[in-house]
Chain A
């Protein structure tokens, strides 16, 4: 009787498991089928989400035993999740702040940041707009509503429609620090905020669409979102330096002033499946996907 039960309730699951493992090793995985298994989550920036999703899909194809969940509520939320221990990998489009590192350490979490790609944050206008370049100081004045007419920066006599992402976005925070507040420039002023006339839109796509329709609009999408329907501006770090257009090359050589790192962070140095995944992201194959998605691969 007892042995019957054991047979019934033990052998069936075991056989299922064996079949599953046998199947897992089966599909033509070249080199990846070394029995990696486990599941982990990637939470954070919605700028990085398209890239992480592609990586996760490819990695799961190569390692059927691994399952990865990607979600993009925003860099801030991802870092909070890492601190709270609910994310295995935090994806961010900005560095972790000192204050956040202290919070993490108080919680027994040791953030370990790895740069996985670079983004050249582009400033785009309508193709009919005669303005070709803007300095960071001018951009700051535009986004704080101190310059409200294109005439003041060498364009037509028309009001500027200023578009930004909403506070969910890591790009919102990065742009505020590095452009609105002019971090690293002599004119840096951390008391500056986005002006109250700025339009906060829920998605990058919507901002690009609006610029494509509106001759007076300005917006800041990641390089991956720049299409032929909008015109990227050359950016001058200061009034005296030459304007630089956003591209893979100018982001790589450091001449483009508002390039930013895209980062993965883990609790301590990664190990096991997570390490294998990050190694894949940093490999030649993984970095080729970066170009496909529209960001800048690591040098």
Chain B
């Protein structure tokens, strides 16, 4: 379709056949190049999956899957070594839960303010600043958590140590906030203005309009934003490694020190001998993590797709 148009255009402007042919060759070359670039992303993804499977699966010859997933003892450098990832898995859930519980209300409220209430000038100033927050390196966030947040959390909740899942979750919420705000705001602004005008015409206040009309209309987009934020929180490594405390017990509350899956991989890989048991076990954790984030991303994608179809009229 597009190419036909282009051909017609060249035929009209330039009767020179050589030029047209060169044009076509250039077109073909660029087309092929873009195709290869697209293919590369898929090849890399498949390569990562293959690598994770190849390096990670052999651990199940040593530790049966149920022992690996539900075991609570992780002693990789002992003899005999045991690999149970239950503490890491539960830690990841706690940290993500805390991060989501904080980031979602704040993020959605912030997005609603920017999209519905704030004057254009304010929005155009604040949104880039919030998006800038996403650019802060995670090691810096970890440092802030270590130095500023963990003493605060320790005294506020009267804990033995401020290095715990709660501190890590709060830092992660700050890190996923920009994604949530940015994507939800886009979703809210995609809601057609007639919806709001209809609501006002029926005598609804601005608050009622936001709560009962705009947010429900943009709900699938907001859900996608939340999923992306959650995915960020699950995969984040450096901050949780520094702040979460790193204890091996299955945490019963977020105020206990804990070691999420990403931190477990990071703190063990330097010592793992290539192809050894610990190496395989860490790759198997990577596999679990990959499946988890992939699932979250696929859900987000589906939801976002639904949002698009809803307003494609």
Contact = CB atoms under 8 A, between A and B. Distances in A.
Contact of B77 (A76, A199, A210): A76
A18 interface: no
A159 B160 CA distance: 7
A199 B270 contact: no
A216 interface: yes
Contact of B249 (A84, A197, A201): A197
B77 A167 contact: yes
B247 to A, nearest CB: 5
Contact of B267 (A77, A80, A202): A202
Given A193-B75, A193-B78, A200-B267, A216 B160 contact: yes
Interface string A65-93: 00000000110110010001000000000
Interface residues of B, number: 31
A161 B245 CA distance: 11
Contacts of B242: 202, 206
B169 interface: no
A155 to B, nearest CB: 14
A296 interface: no
B197 interface: no
Contact of B161 (A73, A84, A161): A161
B146 interface: yes
A40 B77 CA distance: 29
B248 interface: yes
Q: How large is the interface on A (under 10, 10 to 19, 20 to 34, 35 or more residues)?
A: 20 to 34
B270 A77 contact: yes
A161 B161 CA distance: 7
A152 to B, nearest CB: 16
B10 interface: no
Interface of A: 73-74, 76-77, 80, 84, 159, 161, 166-169, 172-173, 193-194, 196-202, 206, 209-210, 213-214, 216-217
B270 A168 contact: yes
A183 to B, nearest CB: 14
Given A76-B77, A193-B75, A199 B257 contact: yes
Given A193-B78, A199-B245, A202-B266, A77 B163 contact: no
Contact of B76 (A73, A161, A167, A196): A167
Contacts of A76: 77, 271, 273
B75 A166 contact: no
B259 interface: yes
Given A196-B249, A199-B246, A206-B146, A74 B271 contact: yes
Contacts of B73: 196
Question: Among B151, B162, B163, which residue has the most Cβ atoms of chain A within 10 A?
Answer: B163
B156 to A, nearest CB: 15
Contacts of B163: 199, 201, 210
Interface string B21-44: 000000000000000000000000
B247 A167 contact: no
Contacts of A173: 77
A250 B248 CA distance: 34
B270 A196 contact: no
25 contacts: A74-B270, A76-B273, A77-B271, A80-B274, A84-B274, A159-B160, A166-B268, A167-B76, A167-B268, A168-B271, A196-B72, A196-B73, A196-B249, A197-B249, A197-B257, A199-B163, A199-B245, A200-B246, A202-B242, A202-B267, A206-B242, A213-B151, A214-B160, A214-B161, A216-B160
